[in-house]
């Protein structure tokens, strides 16, 4: 079943960025999470970290201004802020494993209602590429996920139980999709906010786990991006 379009990828990243507190040290996963670097709320300072050895990077540079020496873990061009630091990737992982990062914002293939995360293998003959995901979910204080609500085939990504190889058990606290914002409830998900024009019924039909709704969930007030 196809779900309504809802939020764009940039709007999803914008919404997740609003939940990052001032002074947080944050790792951004590959894909949609990378876009969060462009949406730091005014008046907040956020220090972004990447596994390949940069602390204090900013959004992507304008076209034509890329520096091939400045990339994130997804090999995407980045800018750096005053005071940024560069270091060996082993030191980068020591920061992760030592509990020095506050938040990881990651992509996902599946998130279960108990907080289990699968985001590194599609199963079958897919080439495994776990990267630093397992270290991140074990080492940071809070794990947020940004993902499309359904696969290209229309299968739900928010599920009762993950069927793909797990990255971490019970690690996710909140999920942002094109259909809304969801908190992990243990036995399913709580709908916190819904995308403009998307009904609760449509969200429930596109979700593969119990969906708890308290009152009338407000709409996400994302800017047009």
| Measured distance CA(84)–CA(25) in Å, rounded | 12
Distance, CA of 205 to CA of 65 (rounded, Å)? 44
CB 176 within 8 A of CB 12: yes
| Residues carrying an active site annotation | 51
The neighbour count for residue 70, using CB atoms within 10 Å, is: 18
Q: What is the dihedral of CA 155, 158, 50, 120, to 10 degrees?
A: -50
Cα(164)–Cα(19) distance, integer angstroms? 28
Beta bridge partners of residue 142, listed in sequence order: 103
Nearest residue to 107 via CA among 54, 49, 175, 203: 175
């Amino acid at each position: 079943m196809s779900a309504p379009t809802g939020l764009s990828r940039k709007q999803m990243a914008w919404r997740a960025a609003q939940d990052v507190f001032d002074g947080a040290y944050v790792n951004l996963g590959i894909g949609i999470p990378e876009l969060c670097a462009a949406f730091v709320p005014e008046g907040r300072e956020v220090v972004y970290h990447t596994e390949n050895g940069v602390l204090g990077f900013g959004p992507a540079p304008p076209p034509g201004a890329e520096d091939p020496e400045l990339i994130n873990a997804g090999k995407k061009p980045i800018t750096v802020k005053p005071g940024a630091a560069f270091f060996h990737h082993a030191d980068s992982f020591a920061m992760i494993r030592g509990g020095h990062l506050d938040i990881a914002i990651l992509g996902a293939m599946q998130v279960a209602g108990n907080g289990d995360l699968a985001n590194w293998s599609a199963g079958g003959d897919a080439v495994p590429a776990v990267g630093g995901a397992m270290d991140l979910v074990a080492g940071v204080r809070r794990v947020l996920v940004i993902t499309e609500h359904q696969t290209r085939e229309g299968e739900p990504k928010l599920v009762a139980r993950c069927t793909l190889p797990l990255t971490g058990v019970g690690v996710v606290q909140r999920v942002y999709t094109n259909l809304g914002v969801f908190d992990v409830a243990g036995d399913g998900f709580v709908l916190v906010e819904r995308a403009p024009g998307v009904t609760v019924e449509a969200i429930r039909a596109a979700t593969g786990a119990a969906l708890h709704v308290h009152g009338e969930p407000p709409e996400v007030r994302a800017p047009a991006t």
